[in-house]
């Protein structure tokens, strides 16, 4: 009783006041899941916090772009690095990681129909993450000589404030604590259901969780040794050693992003798009390949480091890492194939691409993940494999093209996908209508389209002109040299304009999310029928129900894999063609590099 009153007193906006039965459960009309309020409320808390951090990150995107577009030339070089550090930590760590904890709670206890165990730890983890984040903000914002703004990497021997390292350590530990309730819920499920197999979504979330813990432990080593070094308890720290440990977390968190994003792709395309899992075994095998090989990818950040052998670099970034690349290719086939076969089965196919043209494109919870799949694949995935290769890396390394690559992965892929999760949480958990359905339909296209062009321009100026990353001024002036990059100027105009449109698209997302929470009409708990018209609970339960036999979910008299997938096959051929062309082009460009200085 006391607890209920407490909750109501704090909940002035009525954001946490859904109706539950006496046990604290309610049935979701979209997924058919039994949702316990402990899970739902924590998902809301982490999700909402994530959006607020995106506001900060988005603000600093304005100043960063306004500086790199030298026609504007907003910031001085000392301020530039502070703003860039704020942008990177707000977006890549705070926006994304708070969302990821929410996604773990959805993929674990929510899908399993369980309570969130150890809610105290969830709250402590949340508070510790928040303290860590604010400490990092403080450290970055008050940077003064001899300390330098850390950027994302805080590379030793660049001295960053010890407060920064402490904040990073606190944040990482907070994430580990917040993830514990997720693992406990999986453990509880296995004890209650010893012979059962985890649902696909939960299985993927579990793999995400394991990769996360590995990454975060790497972060503990990197940031705590950085801290000891800055406190002068340790007098010298090997730069190469730090880089290796840093990239366990720096790259590892990108792998969490990738796997969490793929889990969401399965979840949303099934719930709102009418997809079905074509083969459970194949999709699960791909997740296991990630578990085994994906960490090796961290080595691709060390491809130009002199301290490690060529063989080590080649092995980790090529041979071993292709195990993970292969897994991505499997998902890249399995997800569209699931959409195609599932929709054909439901009579929404027709022709080669009828399953796509008839899809619910106006629904941002469908459109956003599909836009993400396409843009991530063509722009982020292909370039990642290219630049992860020893020779081609020489042309990409530390150029603006690198920034183009990772904005294609973490923005066009992860961020757009997580925006769809936020929309989903607003409609099905906060039970609010969007303040404008039309703008909500438009937003993923606006943001994805503009950011897609922005990322391409980053790649062009980097690869074609060698424009470096992380510098406020190159086009008009490289101090102490006659070397000129001014030929890149016209491309920077395109870059700048589209980047500002993309930022407007991000602002629209925030306005829709916050506006709908504050002013959106309340949806009747049985409402939301429009979300499931193409798929819905019956199909959704397929990815989410625990089962004893992996193929049980599929109707044996009408198996989904018996439906045609030729549209997906054509799309895959297109992808392959794009891959080959880009690959050959990059090798051609590298041959042109020899003429430097000739």
Output b/e per residue, 339-352; b: 16+ Cβ within 10 A: bbbbbbbbebbeee
Interacting residues with Cu ion between 25 and 54 (CB under 5 A): none
Least gap, CB of 254 to Cu ion (angstroms): 5
Q: Is 469 in the site for ligand HEM (CB under 6 A)?
A: yes
Least gap, CB of 445 to ligand HEM (angstroms): 14
Contact of 568 with 332, CB cutoff 8 Å: no
Q: Is 140 in the site for ligand HEM (CB under 6 A)?
A: no
Least gap, CB of 87 to ligand HEM (angstroms): 6
Contact of 165 with 233, CB cutoff 8 Å: no
Handedness of CA 362, 368, 374, 378 (dihedral sign): positive
Helix, strand, or coil here: 361? coil
Q: Phi and psi of 401, rounded to 5°?
A: -60, -35
Q: Is 451 in the site for ligand HEM (CB under 6 A)?
A: yes
Run of H or E including 36:
strand 34-36
Q: Is 415 in the site for ligand HEM (CB under 6 A)?
A: yes
Contact of 161 with 81, CB cutoff 8 Å: no
Q: Which of 123, 346, 397, 470 binds ligand HEM (CB under 6 A)?
A: 470
Q: Is 215 in the site for ligand HEM (CB under 6 A)?
A: no
User: Which pair of structure tokens corresponds to residue 33?
Assistant: 């899941």
Q: Which is nearer to Cu ion, 42 or 251 (CB)?
A: 251
Q: Which is nearer to Cu ion, 279 or 316 (CB)?
A: 316
Q: How far apart are CA 369 and CA 366, in angstroms?
A: 6
Q: Which residue has the tokens 């390292």?
A: 165
Residue 232 burial class via C-beta count within 10 angstroms: exposed 0-12, middle 13-18, buried 19 and up: exposed
Considering CB distances under 5 to 8 angstroms, the limit depending on partner class, which of Cu ion, ligand HEM, none binds residue 344?
A: none
Considering CB distances under 5 to 8 angstroms, the limit depending on partner class, which of ligand HEM, Cu ion, none binds residue 451?
A: ligand HEM
Q: How far apart are CA 5 and CA 506, in angstroms?
A: 36
Contact region with ligand HEM (CB under 6 A), list: 377-385, 466-474, 475-483, 567-575 = 466-474
- Could you tell me how many residues of this chain bind ligand HEM (CB under 6 A)? 27
Helix, strand, or coil here: 522? strand
Read out DSSP for 155-208?
-TTS---HHHHHHHHHHHHHHHHHHHHHHHHHHHHHHHSTTPBPPHHHHHHHHH
User: Which pair of structure tokens corresponds to residue 595?
Assistant: 């003429």
Q: Is 251 in the site for Cu ion (CB under 5 A)?
A: yes
Other beta carbons within 10 Å of 231: 11
Helix, strand, or coil here: 468? strand
Least gap, CB of 5 to ligand HEM (angstroms): 39
Contact region with ligand HEM (CB under 6 A), list: 63-71, 331-339, 473-481, 509-517 = 63-71
Q: Is 65 in the site for ligand HEM (CB under 6 A)?
A: yes
Helix 162-192 × helix 96-105 angle, to 10°: 10
Q: Which is nearer to ligand HEM, 33 or 302 (CB)?
A: 302
Cα distances (Å, whole numbers) of residue 578 to 55, 382, 411, 571, 584: 35, 8, 21, 11, 10
Considering CB distances under 5 to 8 angstroms, the limit depending on partner class, which of Cu ion, ligand HEM, none binds residue 251?
A: Cu ion
Q: Is 463 in the site for ligand HEM (CB under 6 A)?
A: no
Q: Is 371 in the site for ligand HEM (CB under 6 A)?
A: no
Interacting residues with ligand HEM between 73 and 102 (CB under 6 A): 84, 87-88, 91-92, 96
Q: Is 457 in the site for ligand HEM (CB under 6 A)?
A: no
Contact region with ligand HEM (CB under 6 A), list: 286-294, 351-359, 502-510, 522-530 = 502-510
Q: Is 407 in the site for ligand HEM (CB under 6 A)?
A: yes
Q: Is 375 in the site for ligand HEM (CB under 6 A)?
A: no
Q: Is 411 in the site for ligand HEM (CB under 6 A)?
A: yes
Run of H or E including 25:
strand 25-27
Other beta carbons within 10 Å of 13: 10
Q: Which is nearer to Cu ion, 230 or 251 (CB)?
A: 251
Cα distances (Å, whole numbers) of residue 428 to 10, 16, 319, 365: 22, 13, 43, 11
Q: Which residue has the tokens 């075994």?
A: 281
Q: Could you report how far apart the first and last alpha carbons of the chain are, in Å?
A: 81
Q: Which residue has the tokens 């925006």?
A: 419
Q: Is 454 in the site for ligand HEM (CB under 6 A)?
A: yes
Q: Which of 506, 520, 536, 567 binds ligand HEM (CB under 6 A)?
A: 506
Considering CB distances under 5 to 8 angstroms, the limit depending on partner class, which of ligand HEM, Cu ion, none binds residue 96?
A: ligand HEM
Q: Is 397 in the site for ligand HEM (CB under 6 A)?
A: no
Q: How far apart are CA 73 and CA 64, in angstroms?
A: 9
Interacting residues with ligand HEM between 146 and 165 (CB under 6 A): 151-153
Contact region with Cu ion (CB under 5 A), list: 135-143, 244-252, 322-330, 444-452 = 244-252
Least gap, CB of 150 to ligand HEM (angstroms): 8
Least gap, CB of 384 to Cu ion (angstroms): 8
Binding stretches for ligand HEM (CB under 6 A): 61, 64-65, 68, 84, 87-88, 91-92, 96, 151-153, 403, 407, 410-411, 415, 451, 454, 469-471, 499, 502-503, 506
Binding stretches for Cu ion (CB under 5 A): 251
């Amino acid at each position: 009783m006391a607890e209920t009153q407490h909750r109501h007193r704090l909940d002035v906006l009525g954001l946490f006041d859904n109706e539950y039965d006496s046990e604290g459960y309610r049935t979701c009309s979209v997924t058919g899941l039994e949702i316990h309020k402990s899970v739902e409320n924590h998902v809301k808390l982490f999700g909402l916090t994530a959006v607020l951090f995106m506001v900060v990150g988005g603000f600093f995107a304005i100043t960063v772009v306004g500086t790199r577009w030298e026609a504007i030339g907003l910031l001085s070089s000392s301020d530039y690095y502070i703003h860039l550090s704020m942008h990177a930590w707000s977006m890549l760590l705070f926006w994304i990681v708070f969302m990821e904890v929410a996604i773990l709670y959805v993929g674990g206890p929510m899908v399993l129909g369980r309570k969130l165990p150890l809610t105290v730890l969830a709250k402590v983890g949340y508070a510790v993450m928040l303290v860590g984040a604010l400490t990092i903000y403080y450290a970055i914002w008050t940077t003064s000589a001899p300390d330098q703004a850390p950027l994302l990497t805080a590379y030793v021997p660049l001295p960053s404030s010890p407060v920064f390292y402490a904040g990073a350590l606190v944040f990482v530990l907070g994430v580990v604590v917040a993830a514990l309730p997720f693992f406990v819920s999986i453990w509880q499920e296995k004890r209650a259901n010893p012979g059962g197999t985890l649902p696909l979504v939960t299985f993927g979330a579990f793999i995400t969780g394991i990769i996360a813990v590995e990454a975060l432990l790497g972060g503990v080593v990197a940031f705590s040794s950085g801290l000891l070094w800055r406190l002068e308890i340790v007098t010298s720290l090997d730069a190469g050693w730090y880089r290796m440990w840093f990239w366990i977390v720096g790259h590892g968190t990108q792998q969490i992003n990738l796997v969490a994003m793929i889990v969401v792709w399965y979840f949303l395309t099934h719930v709102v798009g009418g997809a079905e899992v074509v083969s459970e075994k194949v999709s699960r095998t791909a997740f296991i390949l990630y578990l085994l090989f994906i960490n090796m990818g961290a080595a691709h950040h060390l491809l130009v480091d002199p301290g490690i052998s060529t063989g080590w670099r080649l092995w980790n970034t090529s041979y071993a890492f292709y195990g993970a690349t292969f897994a991505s290719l499997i998902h890249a086939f399995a997800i569209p194939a699931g959409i195609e076969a599932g929709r054909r089965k439901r009579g929404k196919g027709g022709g080669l691409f009828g399953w796509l043209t008839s899809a619910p494109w106006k629904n941002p919870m469908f459109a956003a993940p599909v836009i993400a799949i396409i843009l991530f694949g063509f722009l982020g995935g292909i370039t990642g494999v290219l630049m992860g290769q020893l020779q081609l890396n020489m042309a990409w390394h530390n150029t603006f093209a690198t920034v183009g690559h990772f904005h294609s992965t973490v923005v066009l892929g992860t961020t757009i996908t997580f925006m769809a999760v936020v929309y989903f949480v607003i409609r099905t958990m906060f039970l609010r209508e969007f303040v404008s359905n039309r703008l909500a339909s438009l937003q993923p296209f606006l943001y994805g389209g503009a950011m897609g062009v922005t990322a391409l321009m980053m790649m062009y100026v980097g690869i074609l002109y060698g424009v470096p990353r992380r510098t406020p001024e190159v086009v008009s002036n490289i101090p102490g040299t006659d070397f000129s990059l001014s030929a890149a100027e016209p491309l920077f105009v395109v870059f700048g304009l589209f980047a500002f449109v993309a930022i407007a698209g991000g602002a629209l997302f925030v306005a829709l999310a916050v506006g709908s929470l504050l002013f959106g009409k309340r949806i009747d708990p049985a409402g939301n029928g429009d979300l499931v018209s193409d798929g819905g609970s019956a199909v959704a339960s397929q990815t989410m129900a625990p089962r004893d036999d992996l193929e049980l979910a599929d109707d044996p008299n009408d198996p989904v894999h018996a439906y045609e997938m030729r549209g997906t096959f054509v799309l895959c051929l297109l992808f392959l063609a794009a891959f080959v062309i880009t690959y050959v082009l990059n090798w051609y460009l590298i041959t042109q590099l020899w003429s430097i200085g000739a």
